[in-house]
Amino acid sequence: MESAEATPRAVAYSALLHLGIVAFLALAMLNCTRWESVADVLHLPEAMRPVTCTRVVQLQGPIIEATLVGPVGAPPPPAARHAQKASPRHEQKAEPKPVPPPPAPVRVLPTPVPQPKLRDQEKIAEVAQQQAEQAQKAQEEEQKQRMAELTKQKEAERILKELAKVKAESQAQQRRINLETQKAQQLADLNKANQNQNVQNVPVAKQAMTGQAGTSNDAYIAALQNAITQNWLRPDNIPVGVVCPVEIVQIPGGQVISATVLPSCPFSDVARHSVEAAVRRSSPLPYKGFEKQFSRDIIFNFTVTSSQ
């Protein structure tokens, strides 16, 4: 009984559902204008209307006619289309072809060196060892020769040093002999002069540097003797009365330019230098009062007196 009652109810529900679907589809197919018409009939307010149409904007002013150009516009007339076909096409410039890159250089491998056989390698090693031994022997021989030459050179230098030493000693001995000979000769000359009484006494000037005591040559010689004697550092073992000639070069005023002992002087080298130094230290020599006796070049016989 219950199933018989439920069947008509289910059929009714199904029919209502289908009617609702059909009504929804019908409403969905209505456009915006129909919806607004229905809403106006039902007097629905703006907030309750499900659909609202977009209002067309009305512009004021005259109507402007225009022709659309481009893909959305109308196609051109046949005459214009024919003119476009007849117009020459723009020539397209040919683009330069890309230059292909140069080919990569091919690397050539060196020719493999043939490897010698084992026997050849042993022979090469033996030859190399022999050459090394020969080179070492040659180096040792060369070193021995250098040592021998160095020894000879040292020996020669030693001999030369000894010869130089002997020569220096011989020269020193010869100088001592010459000095003793000169001393002996001086003593002999002095003894001979004393025996013959030919030694001249040189007068001593009363005023050594002015020459006011007289105007003769003897006074000038005495003034020179006195001036040089005062500046002479007398060496030892020089006897009294020995004469040593000295060449003197002077200028007006008595300034000494040079003083040179002549070879006939019996003095030793030391005594000769002492006389020359005494003449130079006496500069200026006596000049005032002896202008008439003055001479630029004179040979003065310096005499060793007892007053020294």
State if pTM tops 0.75: no
**Residue 172 forms part of a structural domain:** yes
Answer whether 256's CB lies under 8 Å from 286's CB.
no
Whole-number pLDDT of residue 262: 94
User: Does residue 254 fall inside a structural domain?
Assistant: yes
Instruction: State whether 182 and 249 are in the same domain.
Output: no
Backbone Cα Rg of the chain: 76
- Return the pLDDT at 14: 85
Task: Say how many domains are in the chain.
Answer: 2
- First-residue to last-residue Cα distance in the chain: 194
18 domain-assigned: no
Q: What pLDDT shows up at residue 206? A: 34
Query: How much is the pLDDT for 115?
Result: 64
- Determine what percent of the chain is predicted with pLDDT higher than 70: 66
Residue 179: inside a domain: yes
- Asked, for residue 181, whether it belongs to a domain, the answer is yes
Where does a domain end: 164, 198, 232?
Answer: 198
In angstroms, how far apart are the furthest CA atoms of the chain?
A: 212
Do 251 and 291 belong to one domain?
A: yes
Is 264 found in the same domain as 224?
yes
Kindly indicate the confidence band of residue 113, based on its pLDDT and cuts at 50, 70 and 90: low
Residue 224 · residue 295 · CB < 8 Å: no
Q: Which domain holds residue 270?
A: 217-303
The CATH number of the domain holding residue 273 is: 3.30.1150.10
* 161 and 193 share one domain: yes
**Domain-embedded: residue 296:** yes
Q: For residue 271, with 0-12 CB atoms within 10 Å meaning exposed, 13-18 middle and 19 or more buried, which class applies?
A: buried
Asked whether residue 222 is assigned to any structural domain, the reply reads: yes
Mean pLDDT of 88-105: 66
246 inside domain:
yes
